[in-house]
Structure 1
Amino acid sequence: MTVADGSQTRLADISETVIGTIPATPAFQVMRYVSEGIRLAKQTAVPDEIRSDRNVSDIVDIGRMVQGPINTLLSYGTFDTWFERLFCSTWAGDVLKNGVEHKTGTLEKTFEHGPSDSYIRYRGCRWNTLDLSLQARQFVTANWGVMGIGSPTPTNAIITGATYVAATTTPVLNAGLNVGALSITGVAAAPKIQSMNIQINNNIYANDVIGSYEPDSHGLGRFDVTGTMTALFADLDLYNAILDHDDLALLITMGAATGEKYTLEIPKLKGLDGGPTVGGNGRAVIIEMPFQAKYDATSTASLKLTRAVV
């Protein structure tokens, strides 16, 4: 028996035409990732029955649902399909705005066991959350949260006719060299940002029905965009904007080559809290500002992503 090695695993993805149905003869896209925790989450329950001998009478398998994280490093062109699923929308030219479309995919994990491989597949997968993190002199990380309907019986064979498209090879982006623009409008002087986290949450929920072991379907909740930025305290502008509850806007351009950049834009946000904080000797005074996006009528969205930026 050959124990599966994490460095030899493969994560592949394909979009579904029919939600919850794995496409026939799929052309899987091999994905780039750092780690993942996708699994078929098993739900069990113990009947609360009274026994004179005080023993557990049974343990019942009552349901299952696919869920878990996929942790990645951001690179250009690698996750454009995942962005569509996350935004519940479709690229219009090179612009993507949050919408209400139902988009799903099938994930396949391949484990190397020497003479044979193990294949585990997850169908009806939705991209529920994204945690995008920019830290000074660090890689830009993009950690995704996935929810799915079910998982067919694991097998030792590929799907008949399946092919695999090689993973992209574009550079991993970092917050030092590859952030060409980071601006906050609505304040007189642009703050100097040390770190920023942006969380996107579709608040997807499962629709359970009697007679179904797995979720019947998923529904879309409110599209929430929140985050936290840490800025050096150089003046009162950002602090006053927080106190005055001003409308602010955030724009970040990330990329390593002309025409292979993203611009992420939150056209309207509010600073929820924050003020100058003294962390101790030998440290700069900072402002940590949690924020939340709201709908912008001009952009007709809360969040906008543009690709192929020069």
Structure 2
Amino acid sequence: MAGALFADLPGSSSGTGWWTDPDSSGIGTETIVNGVSQHSFSIERAQLDKDEYFLFSGMVPNTLNMTVSAGAIVTGSFDFMGGMQANTDSSGTGVIQQSSFDESSSGTPTVATTTDPLNGVGNVGTIEEGGGALSGIYLSEISFNLANNLRALPALGYDTAISISAGKCDVTGTINAYFEDDSLYDKFIRSSDTSLSFTLTDQAGNYYTFLFPKVRYESDTVNAGGQDADVMEVLNFRSIYHAGTGGVIKITKSEPLA
């Protein structure tokens, strides 16, 4: 995971920014909840062997996808919707051409981090369901998708969108579990509200916790694959607005302060 990039983007899509709470032990903890303000970025891609730089401005985060699978590297992706693209023969350290929804007019590109990727073996911490640690039920995978449902606004006489409009923040996900009992299935049948969270941590003490404070299971399929196959329970969930949290997803990050 590119920690620095990831730290910036959810704040941009939520609009409230990271809220910092350093403690006496020298650990900085920051939280963020999805919001309504919109921010945009400039993104630069370089072909260094040809000295060609592709600058994309007015880029607004649209979706975030993340998958944590047993025995695999944690994967994730961001999708953007933007204003314009330009080619240059040097890095964008000078003035960046603005659109009406690009809040940054200049700056030096942020270098990508060199941190190690997280994985679904040694970097998965606590998994909670219903406010407590998931006990007796084991997951093979958990994934989620956050969509801001952006839409570009084209206009006569303009070769780029005049603005980007946002829709409802929609958060859905999937749990793949080894079927043990009917505890999760019962919540699906009863349309019971519950909560989900999982933590990813590294050896240096940095971690991210993803909390879905109020979810409902929209489907629950128990698959008996056949002989010599495990019975799997696949649950699709949707995160619903939680008044106490003030949103549908809350992300907490913590890192030792230098």
Please tell me the TM-score bracket, short chain as reference.
Answer: 0.7 to 0.9
Q: Following the alignment from structure 1 to structure 2, what is the Cα–Cα distance between the partners of residues 166 and 125?
A: 17
> Aligned letter for 2:73?
F
Quote the residue 2:231 is aligned against: 285
Quote the residue 1:82 is aligned against: 9
The structural deviation recorded for 1:112 is 2.6
Assess if the C-alpha contact under 8 Å between 1:196 and 1:230 holds in 2: yes
**Partner-residue secondary structure (3-state), 2:219:** coil
**Partner-residue secondary structure (3-state), 2:185:** helix
Quote the residue 1:30 is aligned against: none
> Aligned letter for 1:102?
Q
Task: Give the TM-score, by structure 2 length.
Answer: 0.84
Quote the residue 2:152 is aligned against: 206
Quote the residue 1:21 is aligned against: none
Quote the residue 2:89 is aligned against: 156
**Partner-residue secondary structure (3-state), 1:133:** strand
Assess if the C-alpha contact under 8 Å between 1:186 and 1:246 holds in 2: no
Q: Which runs of 5+ in 2 are unaligned?
A: 21-29, 95-106
Q: Against the structure 1 CA distance between its residues 236 and 149, is the aligned structure 2 distance closer, same or farther, given a 3 Å change threshold? A: same
The structural deviation recorded for 1:189 is 6.3
Q: Following the alignment from structure 2 to structure 1, what is the Cα–Cα distance between the partners of residues 69 and 160?
A: 39
Residue among 23, 27, 31 paired with 1:95? 31
Assess if the C-alpha contact under 8 Å between 2:215 and 2:238 holds in 1: yes
Please tell me whether residue 108 in structure 1 is matched to residue 44 in structure 2: yes
Q: Following the alignment from structure 2 to structure 1, what is the Cα–Cα distance between the partners of residues 125 and 247?
A: 24
Quote the residue 2:104 is aligned against: none
Quote the residue 1:140 is aligned against: 74
Instruction: Give the structure with higher Rg (CA).
Output: 1
Quote the residue 2:242 is aligned against: 296
Aligned residues: CA RMSD: 2.0
Q: Following the alignment from structure 1 to structure 2, what is the Cα–Cα distance between the partners of residues 247 and 165?
A: 41
Equivalent residues in 2 for 1:1-310, closer than 5 Å: 74-93=1-20, 94-113=30-49, 116-152=50-86, 154-159=87-92, 163=108, 165-185=110-130, 190=135, 191-257=137-203, 259-308=205-254
Assess if the C-alpha contact under 8 Å between 1:271 and 1:289 holds in 2: yes
Q: Against the structure 1 CA distance between its residues 107 and 244, is the aligned structure 2 distance closer, same or farther, given a 3 Å change threshold? A: same
Question: Percent of pairs identical after alignment?
Answer: 27
**Mean Cα displacement is larger for which, 254-263 or 143-152?**
254-263
Q: Following the alignment from structure 2 to structure 1, what is the Cα–Cα distance between the partners of residues 33 and 133?
A: 28
Q: Following the alignment from structure 1 to structure 2, what is the Cα–Cα distance between the partners of residues 305 and 99?
A: 12
List per-residue Cα deviations over 1:170-189 (Å, max 9, x = no partner). 22101111011111117996
Q: Against the structure 1 CA distance between its residues 171 and 106, is the aligned structure 2 distance closer, same or farther, given a 3 Å change threshold? A: same
Assess if the C-alpha contact under 8 Å between 1:260 and 1:308 holds in 2: yes
The structural deviation recorded for 1:206 is 1.0
Q: Following the alignment from structure 1 to structure 2, what is the Cα–Cα distance between the partners of residues 219 and 252?
A: 31
Q: Against the structure 1 CA distance between its residues 251 and 160, is the aligned structure 2 distance closer, same or farther, given a 3 Å change threshold? A: closer
Q: Following the alignment from structure 1 to structure 2, what is the Cα–Cα distance between the partners of residues 118 and 227?
A: 38
List per-residue Cα deviations over 1:272-297 (Å, max 9, x = no partner). 01132111221110111111000001
**Mean Cα displacement is larger for which, 262-271 or 278-287?**
278-287
The structural deviation recorded for 1:88 is 3.6
> Aligned letter for 1:96?
I
Q: Following the alignment from structure 1 to structure 2, what is the Cα–Cα distance between the partners of residues 156 and 245?
A: 57
Q: Against the structure 1 CA distance between its residues 76 and 121, is the aligned structure 2 distance closer, same or farther, given a 3 Å change threshold? A: closer
The structural deviation recorded for 1:233 is 0.6
Task: Give the TM-score, by structure 1 length.
Answer: 0.71
